[in-house]
Structure 1
Amino acid sequence: MIYPSGRAVWAAAAGAVPAFLVALALPSFWYLGLLWSCLLLAFLAVDAAAGRGRASLNASIDAPQQVGVGGEFGVQITARHSGPRAVEARVGHDARLAPVSGSGGALQPTAGGGSLNLRFQALRRGVASFDRLWVRWRGPFGLVWNQVVLPVESKVAVLPDVSSARGEAITLLQHAALAEGHAQRRAGQGREFDALKDYQPGMGRRMIDWKRSARHGKLLAREFRIEENNNIVLAIDSGRLMCEPVDGVPKVDRAVTAALLSAFIALKGGDMVSLFGFDARPRVSSGAVRGPANFAMIQKRAAEIDYSSEETNFTLALTTLAARLDHRSLVIIFTDFVDPISAELMLRTVGRLTERHLVLFMLMKDTELEGLADMPPRSGEDVARAVVAGGLLRERQVVIGRLRLLGAHVIEAEHNRLGPALVERYLQFKQEDLL
């Protein structure tokens, strides 16, 4: 792409005044006023041809692979060229990123090219991208801009910042008294056989190994330990209702933060963790991983859970999830619903899921509805709002009650307590050997 520079515009404007005066003073020689325009056009043509022919650009973008929400990071634009001396560049980005001091500028000369350092701030969670790069340079006379648009593909995973909440989660883990960071061993609990020991008064009769007791001539009891390789599935709904804000932050972002906290604790405890995101159809599915070293991978896959304006299809999502689970798992579902009618399909699918798996629903309290229901009735409109809000809250409790009747566990917590509440319940499940 070629277009005139500011210098060419000013030169053309400067030549218009003499041309007008020549035409006014010497009407029969009016064409002499066009000499400046013709001369300027000739210089423009030479400038365009020389600048375009001397340019052999090869530009690239260097950006970090991941960054936390609200954090700033640097982006380096590097261009290698042999012709133009002064090169300017501008990078295109999506709405998840905001430039701190502009998205472009002049490249500083380096050996064989130039470089430009820019600063950006991550505004929202997700996978941000730099999709194109505009590079331009002027010809030898500075009258023409030569511009090219280079397609680039540089992605930055914008992750929720869980560093501030990790301390609280680790404190909960320490309070659970897990010996040496593994599952606590307790006689008579768990499913994995550990050892035989002499039967003691107070032990249950079902712990007695009758065959070995007959062989040794004394009562022997089986001792079990809690398994450490439990499968934890974090299923996050990113549909329309979950994208509504709570205290200025979308519900899905708060759900992702709570899920990452529980994943951090579960990986520390030796369990296997997988991530599953869905709205109208399944979107994100990570394989089950074990060990704290894989937490970074779970974080990166969580950034791929995008915001959606579609209605959630629970039947398709939960059926797909159930088909991928080979053995009993703890399925933690982060979702939201309004009334029993919209949640009817979800209830039908959950009933089949609880037959084999332990299902836990994580819900955020609707503080807006609760505030409307408790609003002082100063006018008729306030009374109407309170009645409607109270009805919606009662219908919500009906759905929660039906979920519990189906065998699912439900936690309804404040948005800022969602993560710690989930960690507490997860540790409780381990202690009670429900996994």
Structure 2
Amino acid sequence: MLFDLAQSTITSEVGDELQWLSGLPWLLLFLLSLPLIIAAYRTRVFPTGLWASLLGVSIVISVLFVFSPQWLVVLAMVDGLIFVVTLIDFLLLWWGSGRRHANGIDVSRELPRTGSLRVPLDSTLTIRNRTSMRLIGEFCDDLPEQFTSEPMMHDLDLAPGMETTARSQLTAHRRGAFNLERCYLRINSPLRLWQRQITIAVHDRVNVYPDMKQLSDYAMLARTNRLSLIGVRRTRRIGQDSDFERLRDYTRDDNYRHIDWRSTARRNKLTVRQFQSDQSQRLIFMLDCGRMMTNQRDGYSLLDHALNASLMMAYVALQQGDSVGMICFSNKIHAYIPPRGGASQMNRLLQAGFDQFPRMVESRYDQAFLHLSSRCKRRSLVTLITNVVDEVNSAVVGDYLSNLTGTHLPLGVLLRDREMFDAADAPHNAALAATASQVAGEPPRPYTETIDDFTMYRAAAASDILLWREQVLTGLRHRGVLVVDAFPDELTAPLVNQYLEVKAKHLL
């Protein structure tokens, strides 16, 4: 009996010892993972997939040890080796890449200070390795939310004391002022067990302006007398600009009827007479930056289309010798450019409008028109670009525009909602589709099968709104207000045509 009692005691002690040893592998795994957690939190050094693979080997041996205690020695050796190797690799990365990375890695960026909307910008990143280790990994530039880059990432393999240059194209999908403040690097350790993420401050600023390609297109088509290709009509002027200014050399684009034959014979060189306009007229744009201009289509807001068309009209007016100004407003006045002429005025208009965005606030037309009346006393063509969606808004716009009649020449630009027009035309389009199917020889279908009730109700509501909108436009015209009614993406040509008509009829 004593023998059995002693045997049971020894067996229980051995079982307790094995039970304690069976938990040792998991304790070792925890101890190995603890430096990883601390390193990831404090130093932004993270393990790679290779490190996870080594840890997987330890896990497999730990499982074998649970079923067979003979694996204890192997497990201890493997865990110790993994710990020593990962620790050495971590220290090589930490000290080799510089504990203070700003002193070991230099980054500089070359980027134009200005750019155009959706036009790629050439960006160059230069990285200099002043550390004692070879930098292997990848890096990328800091991009604002509205930017895309091609390529996005760059491979990095840089020996100590060397430098590398990476070029990419940045495309802005929104105008405005943007700051690029950082460069991000991901450096691999010598044994590829760790990765260190480094952020280096590199401050640059880029101003993204609306795409001014339309201005160069207009200038080219104007020189070749092909403005009709962009929808600009030739308007016959009442009278001529007959004030003689000077004589100059003939160019290929000049009218041959302006050739001064006496001066040509005297100089033995073709000479033309140049005339100047009878008077310099004034244009003032009032851009609504409130909630009425927040709708978007094809990635552009109503304010984007309004600004593009305004800049195009301003360019044409400045070419005609007129003075152009601008007021940007919502619940307050955001920018005011007094009317001036000359080529430099185009740059002022660009600077005032490129960083204006629609805001979810109610526009204060009273403040805007009070600002206009206090600073613009001379008669001008006042162009208000806005949108009307309800009776209150339309009544306010109509009252303030009509009050300008007599002092100024008011021009109201009301932007159409394409979805509204498409909804109103849905039944008509369905009828045309049914007719086309019959012409094609398909079996006729009842009209009610080509369109559902919801579409009919939607078309009726849209037609009612469009009828009310047409009444608003008619009321403005009866009050002496010039009106331009166009879709936002088709606004440029009607607006320029209206200006040329005003010039031709001498309405100012």
State the TM-score bracket (shorter-chain normalisation): 0.7 to 0.9
Cα displacement string for residues 37-76 of structure 1 (whole angstroms, at most 9, x for unaligned residues):
4313531452223323373233233223333443323221
Q: 1:177 deviation in Å?
A: 8.0
- Find 1:397's aligned residue among 453, 470, 473: 470
Q: Which residue of 2 aligns with 1:329?
A: 380
CA distance in 2, matches of 1:380, 1:240: 32
On the 8 A contact 1:128/1:158 being kept in 2, the answer is: no
SS of 1:373's partner is helix
Residue 363 of structure 1 pairs with residue 414 of structure 2: yes
Mapping 1:363-382, distance limit 5 Å: 363-376=414-427, 378=448, 380-382=453-455
How many residue pairs match? The answer is 394
Could you tell me which residue of structure 1 aligns to residue 183 of structure 2? Answer: 133
Identity of aligned residues (%): 21
Segment drifting more, 374-383 vs 168-177:
168-177
Distance 1:46-1:385 versus aligned 2 partners, 3 A rule: closer
Match of 1:67 among 100, 106, 115: 115
Q: Distance in 2 between matches of 1:79 and 1:41?
A: 28
5+ long unaligned stretches in structure 1:
188-223
Confirm or deny: 8 A CA contact 1:134 1:150 kept in the other structure. Answer: yes
Would the alpha carbon gap of residues 91 and 169 (structure 1) be closer, same or farther in structure 2, given more than 3 Å must change?
Answer: same
Q: Could you tell me how far 1:91 is from its partner in structure 2?
A: 2.1
Q: Name the larger-Rg structure.
A: 2
User: Per-residue displacement from partner, 1:346-379 (whole Å, max 9, x unpaired)?
Assistant: 3343344445322211223444333433443845
- Compute the displacement of 1:332 (Å): 1.3
Aligned counterpart in structure 2 of residue 43 of structure 1, from 61, 80, 88: 88
Richer in helix (by share)? 2
Cα distance in 1 between the residues matched to 2:91 and 2:456: 77
For residues 29-428 of structure 1, what are the structure 2 equivalents within 5 Å? 29=73, 31-47=76-92, 48-53=94-99, 55=101, 56=103, 57-83=105-131, 84-86=133-135, 88-106=138-156, 113-139=163-189, 142-151=192-201, 152-160=203-211, 161-162=213-214, 163-164=216-217, 167=220, 171=225, 175=234, 185=241, 226-228=278-280, 230-246=281-297, 249-354=300-405, 356-376=407-427, 378=448, 380-415=453-488, 417-428=490-501
Cα drift, residue 415 of structure 1: 4.3
| 302-311 or 267-276: bigger deviation | 302-311
Give how far 1:323 is off. 3.5
Report how far residue 136 of structure 1 moved. Answer: 3.7
The separation in 2 between residues aligned to 1:43 and 1:394, in whole angstroms, is 78
Pair 1:4 & 2:77 matched: no
TM-score by structure 1 length?
A: 0.75
CA distance in 2 between counterparts of 1:266 and 1:231 reads 9
Cα offset, 1:422, TM superposition: 1.7
Cα distance in 1 between the residues matched to 2:326 and 2:54: 62
The residue type equivalent to 1:96 in the other structure is Q
Which ranges of structure 2 fall in alignment gaps of 5 or more residues?
Answer: 1-42, 244-275, 429-447
CA shift for structure 1 position 293: 4.8
Higher relative contact order (CA 8 A, sep 6+): 1
Q: TM-score, normalised by structure 2?
A: 0.66
